[in-house]
């Protein structure tokens, strides 16, 4: 039995359409993790991040993160000692939004201890925002748990 060229062409287009539909179905099943769910709002306040980074870079020492077995220790610059510091430590995991963790930062001795069991193992981008006196500070660095 000989198949005409019109039938072959219809078969090729039908197989192509089925493959495209299958790819659309598979792509719709993949979770999409955005950097932030409130992208526009965060973009509007980005000038605060720029100013905070400049303020933090103007300090004599920088922020250090250290892991010692069961804890993650955040050391703020020495200038923050004896000051009332408030802010947040945001552990951002690019590979899984479910691992993101925001922790309140409140210290008077420039050191915050965070239990490592609160965080899933992995690579994080740690975004530290704090305020001391009337100044706003921001620091961001990579950290692995």
Residue 95 has a pLDDT of 84
Q: Dump pLDDT digits (tens) for 97-137.
A: 888 999 998 787 888 899 888 899 989 999 999 998 889 99
Q: Number of helices (H) and strands (E) in the chain: give both, helices first.
A: 3, 7
CA distance 119 to 2: 65
59 in Cβ contact with 75 (< 8 Å): no
Residue 9 has a pLDDT of 95
CA distance 142 to 112: 17
63 in Cβ contact with 76 (< 8 Å): yes
Task: For domain 39-144, give its CATH number from 2.60.40.10, 3.10.20.30, 3.30.565.10, 2.60.290.11.
Answer: 2.60.40.10
The stretches in the chain having pLDDT less than 50 are none
Angle value at C-alpha 129, between 94 and 92, nearest 5 degrees: 10
65 in Cβ contact with 126 (< 8 Å): yes
């Amino acid at each position: 039995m000989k198949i005409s060229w019109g039938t072959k062409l219809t078969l090729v287009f039908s197989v192509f359409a089925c493959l495209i539909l299958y790819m659309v179905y598979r792509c719709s099943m993949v979770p999409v993790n955005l950097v932030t769910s409130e992208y526009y709002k965060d973009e509007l306040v980005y000038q605060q991040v720029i100013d905070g980074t400049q303020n933090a870079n103007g300090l004599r020492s920088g922020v250090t993160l250290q892991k010692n077995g069961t804890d993650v220790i955040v050391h703020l610059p020495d200038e923050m000692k004896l000051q009332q510091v408030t802010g947040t430590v945001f552990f951002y995991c690019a590979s899984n939004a479910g691992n993101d963790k925001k922790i309140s930062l409140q210290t008077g001795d420039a050191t915050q201890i965070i239990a490592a069991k609160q965080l899933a193992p992995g690579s994080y981008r740690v975004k530290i925002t704090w305020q001391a006196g009337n100044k706003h500070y921001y620091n961001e660095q990579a950290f692995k748990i």
